Structure 1
Amino acid sequence: MEFFPHFAQLALRLENAAAALGRLLPNEGRPDLPCRRLYAGVVRSMALYFRDSDMGALNVRNKSLLRINQWIIAARTIRGHCTVLWMAATLLASNLLWELQVEVLA
């Protein structure tokens, strides 16, 4: 069974949440890093809320949907722009990869 429609819907919800949080978090000035990490944790908890049956559904296509949203939040956390690479943004934001966190939770 393929869970791509479920992950596509999840990706859309995460994009909407990241956009809403992005309007709250300007690139300049306040809020500082702890507040940004709190917002990143909110979106991460939304992304990692899986049922046990969903854990095995993380194939390459579904992982890419999660990585896009993780990149958006990580770039926002470090106050980066769209030119920051995904791996660099997640490392600078001190975010573990979401697919690794899913494997740990499994």
Structure 2
Amino acid sequence: MQDIIAALISIFLIEPLQANIAERFAEAGVSAQAAGRVATCFSNAAPEILDRAGNEPAWAIGHAIGYWTGASTIDSILADAAPDCLAAVDGESVEPDVA
């Protein structure tokens, strides 16, 4: 059961969040290196997010529904799910791509 929950959270929450972050960075002209650092942060946080989702399914379902319905912003989800990565996103999102 834990594996099924992990797969669903990965498909409906983690992967879309990563795609959204990548899209935001591309639109902002952030360097690939900076975007990679944030992607690594989020990938490193994924096991902790999946663990929390397994222990608190309502938390995970609420965030997934909030994301998909537009009721929750990516920043609010990151602030709760991976606060260190939110700081990385905020810090990197203003860096222009100089390449």
| Interval containing the TM-score (normalised by the shorter chain) | 0.3 to 0.5
Name the structure, 1 or 2, with higher relative contact order (CA <8 Å, separation 6+): 2
Normalised TM-score (structure 1): 0.37
Normalised TM-score (structure 2): 0.39
Structure 1 or 2: more helix by fraction? 2
